[in-house]
Structure 1
Amino acid sequence: MGNQAKNYKSKLQTIMISATFGGLLFGYDTGVVNGALPFMAKRDQLNLTPVTEGLVTSSLLLGAAFGSLLCGQLADRFGRRKMILNLSFLFLLATLGTTFAPNISFMVVSRFLLGLAVGGASAMVPAFLAEMAPAENRGRMVAQNEIMITGGQLLAYVFNAILGVTMGSTGHVWRYMLFICAIPALMLFIGMVRVPESPRWLVAKGRKEEALRVLKQIREEKRAIAEFKEIELSVKKEAGLEKASMKDFSAPWLRKLLLIGIGVAVVNQITGVNSIMYYGTQILEQAGFGTKTALIANIANGLISVISVVFGIWLIGKINRRPMLIIGLSGTTTCLFLIAIFSTVLKGTVALPYVVLSLTVLFLAFMQGFVGPITWLVTAEIFPQRLRGLGNGISVFCLWIVNFIIGFTFPILLSKLGLSATFSAFVVIGIIGIVFVYKFMPETNGRTLEELEEYFRSRYSKDNKESLRKAL
């Protein structure tokens, strides 16, 4: 029995490690541009302007928005494992495209394709892990993907620093930075070849014997049979329902939930977090560091992100969602306010770059430890079972679109307005985000998903009736 348990755990560990290479790729591809841009922008390379710099960065984010929206539907049709395998091939193809890009147009198209893979991974990997994991390990296995994302960003910053310092005089060093991503893409493909398909998808497609065989590989036999019967029953219930669509959100209480989900997703991005994740090197350069020093210093941002995500996952079980998000947003907004102030007061001094670095590290501690974990959790919790995939998909799509807008406009704002004015704008937007969460985001901690559905149905239906009564 002990050996059997070890085999189940070993198989689950293989599945988790293999699939989360998708998260590692997500992190590396969004982080590597941070160090590659200063070299890419040189006159003898791609000769980027602030506008084309924004295009190169944000084209990936636009691709990710559509990738996250489309890949869920494709996975329902072709299977989770097969989709992740296809994404690994797209990661590799697009990585080679960015590495050998001869001009800006080719780079933008390749980054857009890379974004499709990143967005697909952001939607597919957590869903695949959730369907493979035992109930008691689901949170830990899905959370592992978040750690791999921030770990991928940290790896990108480390390799950027190593290559930037040792090969900085080589104009095309940015191509080596981008090419490294091909390695985890190959590892994702090799890993996913070895893992089975989701048993839930197999049952939904009528491949029941195969589904039970997969469950017996990752569960004790009695539990595998019991879980197989539960999946069968769940699939039968869903088969009698119409496919979820936008018209389902016509009910006032569901429309309100959708707006809250979108709002929480947007609040995550208007903190300005990705201006630091994508342009951290440029921010530190403008504060006063040289390029090589900025690349090394930027490792601190990646390291604090990993530590803070681990802390945030632990903290989720200790305090309520709403105060945790408000604390995080208050912290990020305060850090941005101090960057704006010190960028003016200490302008031109030796101290400024060190002050800015310290504040960006503190900003990311609040962001990754408090704001990030709550965003993904709340958008997954608030929607009823039947509409959860669609509602969460729309919310994440909006998150990526806002991410795209900020990724495109930030270098332009930094060039035109400077560090202080740019971060002052984020402070104002951050205050609006805090007000939104305080006034509109409900508390979801301590209730089952079924209890939350009943709570929202009664609360928001009552709110709508009360509004109508007052209007009359």
Structure 2
Amino acid sequence: MALPPKVYNFLCACFAANGAALFGYDLAVISYVLIAKDFLQTVGMGTGIGSPGYNENFIGFIVSSLLLGAFVGSIPASLIADKFSRRTAIVCSGLVFLLGGSLQAGAQSAGMMLAGRFFAGFAIGMLGVLTPLYQSEIAHPSNRGRLGATFQLFIGIGAFVAGWIGYGCSVAQPGTALEWRLPLAFQMLPAVPLVFLTFLLPESPRWLMIQGREEESLQTLGRLHARGNINDTFVQGEFDLMRRKVLEEAALDQSWGLIFSDRTNLRKVIYGIILQFSVQMTGVSAIQYYAGQIYQSVGFEKDALLINSINNVIGLLGQVVCVMFLDRIGRRPPLIWGNIIASVCFAICTGLAKQFYDEVGTKGQGIAFVAFIYIYNFFFSSCIGPLSWVYPVEIMNTAIRAKATALTTMAAWLANFMIGQISPIAFANIGWKYYLVFTVCGATNALTFWLLFPETKGRTLEDMDSYFRNHPWIVPGANVEAVDGRTREKELADNAVEKDAGEKPHENRLESV
């Protein structure tokens, strides 16, 4: 018996999200690697903070070289995806990641480690574009948020696995090469199915439509949304709307100039860049990359890695909550309230961290610091992180989606690179005051989203252009009707029925919803 269409869609999205698991794993594992003595000796950093040869700048670059690679990999991903297909580009990224993972696990010097981090990052940069792109283009309007949120969910799964493997190796093999080589080798596992099984997935129907392969596009829509039935009314309605939109866009310049010459396209790219940059300014990467040092600074010398592994579990729970409820709640409320709570948590953590830098901190204050980091991580994972992958890709039209997503994702890697590079220096020089940056940014993020970011829940990808062209820049006070995804799907089906019956379809209504 064939799976229900939305279950099948969800499973396809989860498979593609293996690419996010690679990012999540690398994101989390480095905090365990950086405090392994054998690793530090291998890359010429002595035995740790304060030892001869230890250099905060170089440690920061080991972390941030992954993000530098991701930044570079974003544009090639969009070019391959547009030229050769979304699936082909995903396979290419998996191959590059296997190269990067092999270099890291077998590193014999600092240069080899940096090369491995760069190539792994290059692949992650590709997947940061390709996975949300593919997920958005196969989804129903009513569950596009759920499918897109699996990207952050699999980041959490990757971090969860990395945390416990890293912790287990630090306990079982302290001071040995296996303490860090085994966790780095394990990261290659999710890349294997991406390389060998991706072509079993259906291709993006929108990419097929762009290529003029309309019959294949219709067959794929039927496979994705109606158990293979191409005569299903929703499939017919969706196909008709998609075809009209692609034909409309075909008359336009298909180069990068289409992004910068059209005010609405440029506005959407700016929104995506703001959102991706704002995520890093909540402090998430500083906590993830330097967790060992951070927890040690508030009195947990022996349990820092265990605390971080538990934090990965909390993040995973938050991501599950997001997948379950995002399409019901919408995009604006999680972004606004998630950032408000993040700001409050960091404000409290700032005061607690100051006590330890003044050498008067107590065990209770250390526990409180950890508790508020856990609260922060839950709300980041359920409200902020997933939206950074869902919102930018869903607001773009088909003609620019791959290229525009590459630009917005590059902003994520650039901000991530910045945080990874400056955090060890900031912790060493200004200590607890560094947390004030994230306190302020959380509050300004919330204000920005409240003022500027329209709600996109329930709308089809083809609706987004007319929606943004007609939506004012300032959101509060704008008279815009909310859309339910299931209602939108029914409208598409009804439109197909009316067209088959010889009646004129409600094109004006479709364009204005």
For the pair 1:424 / 2:430, whether they are aligned, the reply is: no
1:20-169 alignment, distance < 5 Å: 20-39=17-36, 43-46=40-43, 47=45, 48-133=54-139, 138-169=144-175
For the pair 1:272 / 2:283, whether they are aligned, the reply is: yes
In 2, distance between residues paired with 1:434 and 1:53?
32
In 2, distance between residues paired with 1:433 and 1:458?
24
- The 8 Å contact of residues 40 and 174 in structure 1, kept in 2 or not, is answered as no
Deviation at 1:38, TM superposition (A): 0.8
Tell me which of 353, 356, 370 is aligned to 2:366.
353
Deviation at 1:251, TM superposition (A): 5.2
In 2, distance between residues paired with 1:345 and 1:184?
42
- The 8 Å contact of residues 35 and 281 in structure 1, kept in 2 or not, is answered as yes
Judging by fraction of residues, say which structure has more helix: 1
| Equivalent AA in structure 2 for residue 403 of structure 1 | N
- The 8 Å contact of residues 242 and 462 in structure 2, kept in 1 or not, is answered as no
1:197-346 alignment, distance < 5 Å: 197-206=203-212, 218=224, 219-223=227-231, 226=236, 234-246=245-257, 248-250=259-261, 255-291=266-302, 293-319=303-329, 321-346=331-356
Report what 1:468 is aligned to.
none
Change (3 A) 1:373 1:23: closer
Change (3 A) 1:204 1:430: closer
In 2, distance between residues paired with 1:305 and 1:461?
33
Change (3 A) 1:336 1:369: same
In 2, distance between residues paired with 1:95 and 1:356?
34
| Equivalent AA in structure 1 for residue 349 of structure 2 | I
| Equivalent AA in structure 2 for residue 288 of structure 1 | G
**Structure 1 counterpart SS, 2:156:** helix
Deviation at 1:401, TM superposition (A): 0.6
Change (3 A) 1:171 1:215: same
In 2, distance between residues paired with 1:322 and 1:60?
31
In 2, distance between residues paired with 1:205 and 1:253?
24
For structure 1, which segment, 216-225 or 147-156, has the greater mean C-alpha deviation from structure 2 after superposition? 216-225
- The 8 Å contact of residues 33 and 39 in structure 2, kept in 1 or not, is answered as no
- The 8 Å contact of residues 66 and 119 in structure 1, kept in 2 or not, is answered as yes
Deviation at 1:211, TM superposition (A): 5.3
Per-residue deviation, residues 124-167 of structure 1 (Å, max 9, x unmatched): 12222333445555443333333112111111111111111111
In 2, distance between residues paired with 1:296 and 1:390?
40
Report what 1:466 is aligned to.
none
In 1, distance between residues paired with 2:110 and 2:175?
21
In 1, distance between residues paired with 2:174 and 2:325?
41
Report what 1:375 is aligned to.
388
Per-residue deviation, residues 421-451 of structure 1 (Å, max 9, x unmatched): 2212322333333343344334445766666
- The 8 Å contact of residues 40 and 172 in structure 1, kept in 2 or not, is answered as no
In 1, distance between residues paired with 2:167 and 2:97?
23
Change (3 A) 1:234 1:432: closer
TM-score under structure 1 normalisation? 0.85
In 2, distance between residues paired with 1:142 and 1:149?
12
In 2, distance between residues paired with 1:316 and 1:9?
15
| Equivalent AA in structure 1 for residue 252 of structure 2 | L
TM-score under structure 2 normalisation? 0.79
Change (3 A) 1:254 1:209: closer
Deviation at 1:286, TM superposition (A): 1.9
| Equivalent AA in structure 2 for residue 240 of structure 1 | A
1:376-395 alignment, distance < 5 Å: 376-383=389-396, 386-395=399-408
Per-residue deviation, residues 442-468 of structure 1 (Å, max 9, x unmatched): 4445766666644543455999xxxxx
| Equivalent AA in structure 2 for residue 30 of structure 1 | L
In 2, distance between residues paired with 1:431 and 1:234?
38
Deviation at 1:395, TM superposition (A): 2.2
| Equivalent AA in structure 2 for residue 99 of structure 1 | A
- The 8 Å contact of residues 20 and 151 in structure 2, kept in 1 or not, is answered as yes
> Over aligned residue pairs, what C-alpha RMSD do you find?
3.2
1:164-179 alignment, distance < 5 Å: 164-179=170-185
For structure 1, which segment, 167-176 or 440-449, has the greater mean C-alpha deviation from structure 2 after superposition? 440-449
**Structure 1 counterpart SS, 2:108:** coil
Query: Which residues of structure 1 form unaligned runs of 5+?
Result: 464-472
In 2, distance between residues paired with 1:444 and 1:214?
25
